[in-house]
Amino acid sequence: MATTLRLRDLRYAFGENPLTAIALAIFALLVACAIVGPALVPHDPLATNSDSRLMPPSAEHWFGTDQLGRDILSRVVVAARLDLGMAVSAVLLSLAIGTTLGAIAGYRGGFIDHLIGRVFDTIMAFPLFVLAMGIVAALGNSVANIVIATVIINLPFYGRFARAEVNIRRDMAYVEAARMGGNGAARILVRHIVPNILPPMMVQASLNMGWAILNAAGLSFIGLGVRPPAAEWGIMVSEGASFIFSGEWWTFVFPGGALVLAVFCFNLLGDGLRDMIDPRRRT
């Protein structure tokens, strides 16, 4: 089932919910920041300037400057690449791995199903943010490990969903027909079953993006993963937090605002996509 989005479908969906159109505009802005942002920003995001430390927003520095005199607007824009990059790669990886594991479990059943199910149960036995903390602390403090931790804590959601969907379809007539035609298990899964469960899985993934961003930002807020002087929203909020008692609000409000905007946008897009693909689940 090839899901091509036709213009008419888009207009229909946006007509129902204008918020989705707003979300799409924010999304375009964020993606633009991530791709061409570093080339457009007015100042070098890493350049320190001791003469202009903690300056409030002005015509020169729209979002003000931080404790090292770096331009906050430039840093917020440049950070989009790292923040979105972490979230997108984490979500895509957990989608791929979770779907594979879940599909195998649901199709094979038996021992493998039990084993994979037990692994998912064990992950879910932890408060997820705490497990992510533990994984990053154990594997080492790096951006790659934030992504790995986010993938691991997300796996059960995709895996269980894929398992249930495959399990329903395993004995359906079209799968039976494919089996009679002499297709092997792998081919049946890849060619016949997975394409059918992909649209709802994609909805799940887009609804998951916001959460992945929050998770990564939360980890870097407590000092895990991203290291200074890298520009990243979570760590910028954390650095700005020290100036709260002297009233330099712009140091944490702008990066935090960017974080909220991104999460809000992905949540709305996820809702919009769900309405388009699976109207029954609309709330």
User: Which residue number, 214 or 276, has a Cβ lying nearer to another protein?
Assistant: 214
Two structure tokens written together for 267 = 């949540």
Total binding residues toward another protein, as defined by CB under 8 A: 42
Q: What residues between 225 and 254 interact with another protein by CB under 8 A?
A: 234, 237-238, 241, 244-245, 247, 249, 252-253
| Closer residue to another protein (CB): 27 or 48 | 27
Q: In this chain, which of 212, 217, 226, 276 binds another protein, going by CB under 8 A?
A: 217
CA–CA gap between residue 24 and residue 21 (Å, rounded): 5
Q: Which stretch binds another protein (CB under 8 A): 22-30, 123-131, 160-168, 170-178?
A: 123-131
Q: Least distance from C-beta 54 to another protein, angstroms?
A: 15
Q: Which of residues 132-161 bind another protein (CB under 8 A)?
A: 133-135, 137-140
Largest Cα–Cα separation, the chain: 76
Please name the residue that has the structure tokens 């430390």. Answer: 53
Structure-token match 């999304």, residue found = 27
Taking the least distance from each CB to another protein, the nearer of 107 and 252 is 252
**Residue with Cβ nearer another protein (175 or 268):** 268
Residues near 218 by beta carbon (within 8 Å), at least 6 away in sequence: 129, 234
The C-alpha atoms of residue 100 and residue 193 are separated, in whole angstroms, by 11
Between 109 and 134, CB nearer to another protein? 134
The interface mask with another protein, positions 162-201, x = CB under 8 A, is ----------------------------------------
Given the complex with another protein, which of 134 and 195 has the nearer CB atom? 134
Residue from 23, 189, 224, 231 binding another protein (CB under 8 A): 224
Which residue ranges make up the site for another protein (CB under 8 A)? 118, 121-122, 125-131, 133-135, 137-140, 210, 214, 217-218, 221-224, 234, 237-238, 241, 244-245, 247, 249, 252-253, 256, 259-260, 263-264, 267, 283
